[in-house]
Amino acid sequence: MTASGHLVERFQLAGTAPDDEIAALVKETGLDTAVGILADEIVFRCDEPVNRMPAHLALTVTHGADHRQLFFRIVRDEPVTVVAADEVGPVRRELRISATDLVRRLFGRTGQRGYGDLYDTFLPHRPDDLRELPEILMATNQASGTLLSGCGVPTLDLGKASLAYGSDKWASFHWYTTHYEREFARHRDQPVRLLEIGIGGYRGQLGGGSLKMWKKYFHRGTIYGLDLFDKSALNQQRLTALTADQGDPAALTAIAERYGPFDIVIDDGSHENPHVLISFAALFPHLRGGGLYVIEDMHTAYIPRFGGSAGPVAGPDTSIGLLKRLLDDMHHQEQSPPPGARPTLTQEQVASVRVYRNIAFVEKGANADICFPRWMDDEAWMALGAIPPPPEAPERNDT
């Protein structure tokens, strides 16, 4: 991770810290640097503008007696941008907030205070404004709503976000986002490190729609994408595109050692079954406890040209074969291993396997639930009275 990336991560972690710790971080880094980090985050999070008349808004960020002022240009069909003071048109409205409160708004937990920390001022109008006052007020109000949408934790429907960013995880050939929302909900407020294999992009397009969706959903997260082709043009604050072949276990291990451990890994790569198995073997060891390893598009387990099996039963060297093995591994204590055999990593650390149509979530954790010891056979259970003895056979009377 670069020095700037490390600094951004410190702000991500600070969002749930006490006020004095956030203030100390702002003082250490300097208000200019802190405001730059926060401004990038606001611009990324803002909803699409709806105001037809361009509006310029000021956001004043304070820290003790010091302050910095940002100017935002907001207009429909254009991205929200921060502009220099000498490029600003009439500023109609000023919002003012402390750096500490803004850090907490951006990197705090879902549902934290979203009011009572922000001062809002309509600035004096010019005489010429009166002719267009209704239009100016509407544009200013709409632009203010857009700016405020960027100053907090997004209220996000993953299906809509998938469509907005051009991801295919919803309403294409897949309906995955409902499952993602269920499985990822407990991780959303955490400073997760997420790696997605497969960035997408066809016919010269960069792709990266899913990565941007994850960046917005995990407002405290650090997002990595892995692709066979160089997609570093996608790099931005909290989002990094890496280049490697998912069929190369050494390359995957090197990436995990440098950028991990990860809280979430999503395999949306080639969907070649050998690649799925190689990636899982290389990356699952670098998943944190409580983390999730996700495998998408498991239909290729039944397509021979993807290394799948012809017929109704997926073979052991497919994605579905891998899941079957993990189910056996979860129940290794009920089996009869060879003498002296030690549990494997997946036997010890696969806590659950949850499968939906074409997508699976493997949770890493201690597979340590108490089971019936193998020495407690039926005779032991009968002695305890837990299993009734078999009924005696009735005497035969052949006379």
Contacts of 132 (CB under 8 A, 6+ apart): 53
Contacts of 91 (CB under 8 A, 6+ apart): 56, 57, 58, 71, 123
Query: Residues 166, 138: one domain?
Result: no
Does the structure show a pLDDT above 80 at 348? yes
Is residue 60 a part of any domain in this protein?
yes
Based on the structure, what is the number of domains in the chain?
Answer: 2
Query: Residues 104, 225: one domain?
Result: no
Query: Residues 195, 89: one domain?
Result: no
Whole-number CA gyration radius for the chain? 28
Three-state secondary-structure class, residue 295: strand
Active site residue 271: yes
What digits encode the pLDDT tens for the residues 324-342? 999 999 998 888 778 788 9
Query: Residues 77, 214: one domain?
Result: no
Query: Residues 271, 138: one domain?
Result: no
The CATH number assigned to the domain holding 71 equals 3.30.1050.30
The CATH number assigned to the domain holding 296 equals 3.40.50.150
Query: Residues 143, 162: one domain?
Result: no
User: Of 149, 170, 187, which residue constitutes the final position of a domain?
Assistant: 149
State the pLDDT at residue 116. 75
Query: Residues 233, 344: one domain?
Result: yes
Contacts of 62 (CB under 8 A, 6+ apart): 96, 97, 98, 99
Can you tell me the mean pLDDT for 180-192?
A: 96
What digits encode the pLDDT tens for the residues 209-246? 999 999 999 999 999 999 999 999 999 999 999 999 99
State the pLDDT at residue 303. 97
Q: Which of 114-123, 248-257, 267-276, 345-354 has the lowest mean pLDDT?
A: 114-123
Which one is catalytic: 187, 271, 275, 286?
271
Range of the domain at 208: 158-364
Query: Residues 192, 252: one domain?
Result: yes
Query: Residues 331, 182: one domain?
Result: yes
Is residue 377 a part of any domain in this protein?
no
Is residue 380 a part of any domain in this protein?
no
User: Of 88, 115, 149, which residue constitutes the final position of a domain?
Assistant: 149
Query: Residues 45, 87: one domain?
Result: yes
Contacts of 190 (CB under 8 A, 6+ apart): 218, 220, 221, 263
| pTM, to two decimals | 0.89
Instruction: Give the separation between CA 357 and CA 296, rounded to whole angstroms.
Output: 9
State the pLDDT at residue 171. 84
State the pLDDT at residue 382. 62
Query: Residues 106, 215: one domain?
Result: no
Is residue 376 a part of any domain in this protein?
no
